[in-house]
Amino acid sequence: MAKYIHMISRIQEIIIHPDIVESELAKRVLSNRCEIPFKITSTVPETIPLRTGKKILYVTDMPGRLVKPCPATGLPYLCCQYTVIHSCLQCPADCTYCVLQNYLDMPVISLNVRLPDIINEINGLLRNQPRRFFRFGTGELGDSLALDPLTGLSKDFILFFKKQRNAIIELKTKSVHIERLLEIDPANTVVSWSVNPEPVIRTEELHTPSLKMRLDAARQCQEAGYLLGFHFDPILHINHWELLYREVVDQIFSSVDANRVAWISLGSLRFPPALKQVIQSRFPGTRIIYEEMIRGLDGKMRYLKPLRTALYQHIYQRIRSFAPDVFIYFCMELPQIWERITGKHPMNNAELDYWFAESLWRRFGPELNMDEPRLPDYPLVK
């Protein structure tokens, strides 16, 4: 059984590249490190096991673009046009299903010190598409808050987006490191949690806080004025799943106010075929990869459509019983699935992006400094 811990306590070593040791973020990490040992070197272990690498934080200067469209599945699966900020790659948690095991080359957690470049790239996007409402996030290739006691990046992003119009930042996490958030006046920020039943957290989401701890943190953020999000992703077909996922929904809405929930996503287990062997090797005890699955149109392994529909329908209806107005979307799913569950579906990715903006404007427009959204005039698909 996994032990519940604060995720930052998993870090056992910090490596600082010598070229960036004078950067503001590197200095901040060193000042916040407490007793975590560190060294300044350009030599980073690349052949160590991933389980060991997840205990090492490498502070460096990442090359290339830092703000990119979500690396999502292509058509016909619908994507919500999320924009990913590459501030950190990897995280200290060790979830059995994590696609990053097969997606990232470096076993260590890499923190990018190029915060000014990230801000410049975001500003460029906002200038080039002034009519579009952007949702940015740092939690796609890492955990937005797991390292926040060291990096303090949450404050940087919140203060930046506080000044923006038609843009919002999502801080997506499994952690409970919300200390800095509670010190800042919230603005244009959604703090969201990945959720699963407690048995799944214990066996498949190793070294992460319990569901109760996550929801306690969510309640504190709501009381501080933040909007919330929740991500049922991946939904797993496990024994007694109907009861277990119903309990998760009930716990969420007994902890927080539905009127302060900006969105909820639903996504079932999916992974590239090559990940199965990695999971078998790293987590021989897990059974989640042995369900009946097929290769989808995007090449990923997925549950059969009737099973995915049943999973979504059950959770969707339970959420709707508590929150009739909350925006619910399906992550990387077919239009037919949307239609079966909700009776409608976006025609394309751009229309789904508009649905997001319209829901936020209608429910929270003045709070989020939003203009009334219009159907987009930017490209419909990537």
Q: What is the pTM of this model?
A: 0.95
Nearest to 305 by CA among 268, 353, 271: 268
Q: In what order do the strands lie in the sheet with 227-235?
A: 67-69, 83-85, 134-137, 167-173, 189-194, 227-235, 261-268, 327-330
Decide if pLDDT at 8 tops 50.
yes
Decide if pLDDT at 382 tops 50.
no
CATH for 62-364 is: 3.80.30.30
Nearest to 304 by CA among 293, 314, 295, 312: 293
pLDDT (0 to 100) of residue 51? 94
Decide if pLDDT at 2 tops 60.
no
CA distance 11 to 337: 41
CA distance 52 to 45: 10
Structure tokens at 275: 């990940």
CA distance 228 to 172: 10
pLDDT (0 to 100) of residue 270? 96
- Mean pLDDT in residue range 345-359: 93
pLDDT tens per residue, range 51-81: 999 999 999 998 899 999 987 767 789 998 8
Counting DSSP H helices and E strands in the chain, the numbers are: 13, 18
Give 278's pLDDT tier (boundaries 50, 70, 90).
Answer: very high
- Mean pLDDT in residue range 80-98: 95
pLDDT (0 to 100) of residue 15? 97
